[in-house]
Amino acid sequence: MMSDWLLNREGPIAVLAVNRPKTLNAVTLGMYEELIPLLDEVEADPNVRVLVLRGAGERAFVAGADIGEFEEEFGTPEKAMAYDRRVEAGTSRLAGLHKPTVAMIHGYALGTGVFLAVACDLRIASNQARFAVPVGRFGIMPSPPDLARLARVVGYATALEMGLTARTYTAHEALAMGLVNQVVPAEQLETVALTLAGGIAENAPLTLIGLRAMLQAVLASPEPPPLEIGDTWYRRIYSSQDCREGARAFAEKRPPRFQGR
């Protein structure tokens, strides 16, 4: 039986693909539960420094949740709430991964596709990508954590517009609203995304982890954030071998050899 997820490693990069191209990579509830141990595996692998999330096939990143499950899973408010809690367990595991994540988006990213994309750190889209949050057309609700992650990326007004209008946005509109970091020709998408991931993987792992953790803490803190919010990471990073290696490599005019410690 073909797996609904495919996990491959390319050097320091793990590539995780939603593998349901016949359904435009619509995600089932069971897939969210399968996602957690896969992400645990990526987290535990010391050789993996960056995760790239993509959809299999040529037509979609993720074209939403599997509509075939809606009648059963959304039959009562209690069922819908239980569904969202199980979905959030998978999505929050992706958002909380300690390694940088890049969403490689081609074709459709609808509903769940948008929410999985904004759970990643960076988003690279092909010029053929299309984005929408069409919950109003189905009479359903996104979860509060999904809405919060979307609003943190695009802002309150744009997140609200996406939900209220249910309209479809082009890749260049998504770039203008800050939903994606780059738009590239479709034939260059994989090369650009993997090159970006490879460049990230060359940097000091502890700094990358600490930078993400501090940014998340800053966004959750009062304005302006206290300096103490970074104390834990300052201690880890400035006492690390990588910190000393970075300075030595610069002085010796050679590429640094970071070990993540």
On whether both 74 and 143 belong to a single domain, the answer is yes
- pLDDT of amino acid 50: 98
In angstroms, the CA 141 to CA 143 distance is 6
Where does the pLDDT of residue 224 fall: very low under 50, low under 70, confident under 90, or very high at 90 and above? low
Each residue's pLDDT tens digit, 176-209: 999 999 999 999 999 999 999 999 999 999 999 9
Note whether residue 171 is domain-resident.
yes
Asked if residues 7 and 15 have their Cβ atoms less than 8 Å apart, the reply is yes
On whether both 59 and 114 belong to a single domain, the answer is yes
Where does the pLDDT of residue 227 fall: very low under 50, low under 70, confident under 90, or very high at 90 and above? low
Asked if residues 133 and 166 have their Cβ atoms less than 8 Å apart, the reply is yes
Q: Which domain holds residue 139?
A: 5-200
On whether both 19 and 70 belong to a single domain, the answer is yes
Give the tokens for residue 23: 């359904």
Note whether residue 260 is domain-resident.
no
On whether both 144 and 127 belong to a single domain, the answer is yes
Note whether residue 63 is domain-resident.
yes
On whether both 115 and 153 belong to a single domain, the answer is yes
On whether both 106 and 226 belong to a single domain, the answer is no
Q: What is the mean pLDDT of residues 8-26?
A: 97
- Provide the number of structural domains found in the chain: 2
On whether both 93 and 18 belong to a single domain, the answer is yes
Q: What is the mean pLDDT of residues 103-126?
A: 98
Where does the pLDDT of residue 225 fall: very low under 50, low under 70, confident under 90, or very high at 90 and above? low
Q: What is the mean pLDDT of residues 95-102?
A: 96
Burial class of residue 193 (count of CB atoms within 10 Å of its CB; 0-12, 13-18, 19+)? buried
In angstroms, the CA 197 to CA 166 distance is 31
- pLDDT of amino acid 183: 99
On whether both 186 and 239 belong to a single domain, the answer is no
- pLDDT of amino acid 45: 97
In angstroms, the CA 130 to CA 172 distance is 9
Each residue's pLDDT tens digit, 77-89: 888 888 899 999 9
Each residue's pLDDT tens digit, 58-71: 999 999 999 888 78
Where does the pLDDT of residue 76 fall: very low under 50, low under 70, confident under 90, or very high at 90 and above? confident
On whether both 55 and 121 belong to a single domain, the answer is yes
On whether both 161 and 101 belong to a single domain, the answer is yes
On whether both 152 and 247 belong to a single domain, the answer is no
Give percent of the chain above pLDDT 70.
Answer: 97
pTM over 0.85: yes
On whether both 209 and 185 belong to a single domain, the answer is no
- pLDDT of amino acid 2: 63
Each residue's pLDDT tens digit, 40-52: 999 999 999 999 9
